[in-house]
Structure 1
Amino acid sequence: MSAQFTIPKFKLPGFIASIGQKLPQWPHALALVAGLNAALKMKLLPESELDALADKLFRVRILDTGGEATYTYRNGLFRPVFRPEREPDLAFAANLSAYLQMLARQEDPDTLFFNRELEITGDTELGLIVKNMLDAIEWPQLSAKLPLLRH
């Protein structure tokens, strides 16, 4: 039996974000879209909700790294958007530790939001759909498909 790793709440030093903002942002979008499309292929995302995401623009900002990724869902795939021509329909902003805590299911998005550690702006109904999709992901199923996540 392995010990449970807890992700601490942290904030990277300010100079990291100032450097990160000056770097190209396209690798972030490509990495996020690759992960989302892998989740699609593994059937981890509830297909019944995907139509609600069609042609919507999403942005994820990692405040303390200066990283940003903008993407959309079109024709059955998540796709990066390198030069968005409008504000996103739904945007998330948080420090790296908050995203890691969500991914590890250590904190839920509601708690982070109400503690002002996760900023969500845009279409409220779309935000609830995305939150419910993330909540529906069965992590034991994911760890079975990705051997590195097994304990």
Structure 2
Amino acid sequence: MSTTSYRLPGPLGKLLAALPAFPGSLLFVQGLNLLLVRHLPADTLQALHGRSLRIRVADAGVQFDFSWDGRGFVAARRHAEPALTIAATAHDFLLLMQRKEDPDTLFFSRRLAMEGDTELGLLVKNTLDSIDLPAPFGVRPRTGSDRL
């Protein structure tokens, strides 16, 4: 497992942070709907219904606000306070997507932060841990030895 956390260069982060948030959220939910929705259990989708979520890429200065509307993930204008915010650097999110790093390891090393509804956060984490995701970004299914 990686112990080094890489950050985007400051000027690139400032440039990305200057972009409007809503178009990024639209693109983000398109990816979620294409790659993830068909793998999510019905009880998880029911628990997500109407709940506001935010993914914050700390070093890029961007965040994606979205929710589940019963048919798919939908982009949202910035919520004052989402039910759950998950934050990490771009590199750490990439490691998570590739399953090269465990969310618990990142959380306890303070490289992954969850704010808000902790029960919802655990549901999201456990659901993502339990499903075999498609192969973008070199994703591979986890084996028992990959988990804590």
Structure 1 counterpart of 2:24, one-letter code: H
Match of residue 134 from structure 1: 128
Deviation at 1:28, TM superposition (A): 2.0
Q: Does 1:59 align with 2:72?
A: no
Q: Deviations over 1:7-51 (max 9, x none)?
A: x731112222222211112232112211221121xx211222111
Deviation at 1:117, TM superposition (A): 0.5
Matches for 1:70-149 after TM superposition, within 5 Å: 70-84=65-79, 86-139=80-133, 142-143=134-135
Unaligned runs of 5+ in 2: 141-148
User: Equivalent pairs: percent with the same residue?
Assistant: 38
Q: Deviations over 1:119-143 (max 9, x none)?
A: 110001000110011112213xx23
Structure 1 counterpart of 2:43, one-letter code: S
Match of residue 29 from structure 2: 33
Structure 1 counterpart of 2:70, one-letter code: N
User: How many matched pairs?
Assistant: 137
> Structure 2: how far apart are the matches of 1:149 and 1:102?
11
Answer whether contact 1:16 1:66 (CA < 8 A) is retained: no
Of 14-23 and 112-121, the range deviating more from structure 2: 14-23
> Structure 1: how far apart are the matches of 2:138 and 2:61?
27
> Structure 2: how far apart are the matches of 1:83 and 1:103?
24
Structure 2 counterpart of 1:69, one-letter code: F
Match of residue 50 from structure 1: 45
RMSD: 2.1
Unaligned runs of 5+ in 1: 1-5
Alignment partner of 1:64: what SS? helix
